[in-house]
Chains A and B, each alone.
Chain A
């Protein structure tokens, strides 16, 4: 089979919007997505076996997702869409390897769009590895897609609107929420949201959910954080406290809540494993979630022909993700000669306008809810930081004490980031820990180098890969 003109990794809002625009213009497109169905996290669809009786509980996102997915269905025949397919590495000469149905496969890429999304920010604090501590996104996947409550008495702790959305879904499903802790100044972002249009998806939905949470009588504690989870083999209680503007605990306000489940929603971190692997330049942008690929106005990265769109290129929500995806799809259709530059300009215009509008809100929101230093100071010396290799803050500090100020050296000294999660659950925090310990701005601390496989792949899948793979120069 001929190589496709465009490969898109990820079938969330950004990836699908890009595919729709490129395929509509005439390009041959291949999509590789890890999930069973298109839609990504936000527009995810129920597994086969479940039957949706009342879609109302899925919220306004469901309707928006339906609109995008029906656009996708209209061009679906022109797209080679592979679900349950994991891209786990890219190599020299623009070759990538993926795993589908127990087999390793390879494909060459010319134009590539990386739309790999984001994941919940890992925040180490004493007890965060106990069963019963989960991410807000993890809780949402259970409640929304599996219709199971994560526990009997839940505490939400974090910042921003996602935890409100999930708490509301728990209440709607008949669950009990003991309290919601917002580390930041919730009143500020509420005021801010009221000044903007309804385009921001999640955030305006968050406002509606807020009203429902008030109605249910769940305490929403502003400027509060979780300090510790305690329990014998699983969560039995949470230590919480009021925090100052830097999110540092005010000790005299420390108290204990009896809960069996703690959901953490401290924002999202972009999944940049593949853009790093391809060799794109990245910059550190705390407001957008951490390391993000540098891009031009067409969403193209520093590697020619490689584009990055959606939350995986900077966390900014589904509306922004779709606009970015469409712009990348249109730009690629133009560069492949399917549409004129004038036509491309015309098609891009509404999405550029949308992005300008959303960008202003994003900037304002950053100032209010990006993580403050106190968030990275919760761990004590015995707190696990790297969950896979079971390294504590003490272990990391002692390696730093031996003179290392760099993540890759730290990795070689301690095995930090070398377990199955490949640093996803520790590196964002370690970056800030090194910054704090060495009094260096986090942006100046080089991130973990990426190596394939980016996720666990069975050894027989690696064995079944056809041909040779050359590791990218400059690793």
Chain B
């Protein structure tokens, strides 16, 4: 999206009291974003300062992470070509491709 106002200059992870798993990058709208094994996609993008997960169908308004337990569908994005994936319920994987969802978005049908 053209303007999203994300401040991506700071890592919002808390390093106290836990050790994180293996580090790798995921791709969010073409940019590399740091992720660690065991994190949800929502956590990884929140840590990177990314707030908008999708743009609504009718009013084209930005939405983001809200309930954290998989029932509000505020945090849905396109993951590996599949729209409407709840990022708060989806764990990061190496090589994962995440995109801000615009409206209903299109499914990428594998060849």
List A residues at the B interface (Cβ < 8 Å): 34, 41, 46-57, 119-120, 122, 129-135, 137-143, 146-152, 172-175, 232-234, 384, 387-388, 390, 419-421, 424-425, 455-456
Contact = CB atoms under 8 A, between A and B. Distances in A.
A234 B39 contact: no
Contacts of A232: 5
Nearest to B86: A456
Given A135-B66, A456-B84, 4 more contacts: A46-B38, A138-B88, A146-B40, A233-B3
A77 B71 CA distance: 31
B68 A52 contact: no
A421 to B, nearest CB: 5
A52 B18 CA distance: 5
A141 B69 contact: yes
Nearest to B73: A420
Contact of A50 (B21, B46, B58, B72): B21
B66 A390 contact: no
B38 A419 contact: no
B62 A148 contact: no
B18 A233 contact: no
A57 B67 contact: no
A131 B68 CA distance: 13
Nearest to B54: A131
Contact of B67 (A50, A131, A135): A135
Q: Which 5 pairs from chain A and chain B are nearest by CB?
A: A49-B38, A131-B64, A49-B21, A138-B68, A49-B37
A120 B74 CA distance: 14
Contacts of A152: 7, 10, 12
Interface of B: 3-7, 10, 12-22, 36-40, 42-43, 46-47, 51-53, 56-59, 61-74, 76, 84, 88, 91
A142 B17 contact: no
Contacts of B5: 232-234
A148 B65 CA distance: 13
Given A56-B17, A131-B53, A390 B59 contact: yes
A82 B68 CA distance: 22
B51 A234 contact: yes
Q: Secondary structure at chain A's binding surface: helix, strand, loop or mixed?
A: loop
A50 B19 contact: yes
Contacts of B62: 130-131, 233-234
Contacts of B43: 142, 146, 148
19 contacts: A48-B21, A49-B22, A50-B21, A50-B38, A53-B19, A131-B62, A132-B51, A135-B72, A138-B68, A146-B40, A148-B43, A149-B12, A173-B14, A234-B51, A387-B72, A390-B58, A420-B84, A425-B67, A455-B71
A147 B64 CA distance: 18
B52 A138 contact: no
B3 A47 contact: no
A144 to B, nearest CB: 10
Contacts of B65: 131, 134, 138, 142, 150
B73 A137 contact: no
B14 A234 contact: no
A54 B17 contact: yes
A56 B16 CA distance: 11
Contacts of B71: 119, 421, 424-425, 455
Given A134-B66, A152-B12, A234-B52, A49 B20 contact: yes
Contacts of B21: 48-51
Contact of A138 (B17, B19, B67): B67
A138 B12 CA distance: 16
A57 B16 contact: yes
A228 to B, nearest CB: 15
B45 to A, nearest CB: 10
